[in-house]
Amino acid sequence: MPLNPDLADFLELANQNSQPKMEQQGADLARESYDTSTVFLDGECEALYQNYTFTSSDQSNLTIRCFKPEPLAAGSPSSAVLFLHGGGYVLGGLDSHASLCASMAEQANCAVFSLDYRKAPEHKFPTAFNDTQDAYHWLLANADILNIDINKIAVAGDSVGGSLATALCIDLKGADEPQPIMQVLLYPCTSAHQNSDSHKRFSRGYLLEQDTLQWMFTQYLRDENDRNNWRFAPLEHQDLSGLPPAWIGLAEYDPLVDEGVAYNSRLEEAGIATELTIYSGMLHDFARFSNLVDETAVVRSDIAKALIKAFCRP
Catalytic residue IDs: 159, 254, 284
37/279 Cα distance (integer angstroms): 22
- The full DSSP string for 153-177 is EEEEEETHHHHHHHHHHHHHHHTT-
Cβ neighbors of 235 (< 8 A, separation 6 or more) are 190, 191, 192, 259, 262, 263, 266
Q: If we measure between CA atoms, which residue out of 126, 258, 283 comes closest to residue 206?
A: 283
26/107 Cα distance (integer angstroms): 37
Q: Quote helix, strand, coil % in the chain, to nearest 5.
A: 45, 20, 40
**What is the H or E stretch that residue 248 is in?**
strand 246-253
How many degrees, rounded to 5, is the angle at CA 171 between CA 165 and CA 174? 145
| Inter-residue contact 191 to 233 (CB < 8 Å) | yes
**Omega before 126 cis (within 30°)?**
yes
CA 267 to chain centre: 18
Torsion, Cα of 177, 229, 119, 287 (10° steps): -80
Order of strands, edge to edge, in the sheet holding 274-283? 50-55, 61-67, 111-116, 78-84, 148-158, 183-186, 246-253, 274-283
Helix (H, G, I), strand (E, B) or coil at 58: coil
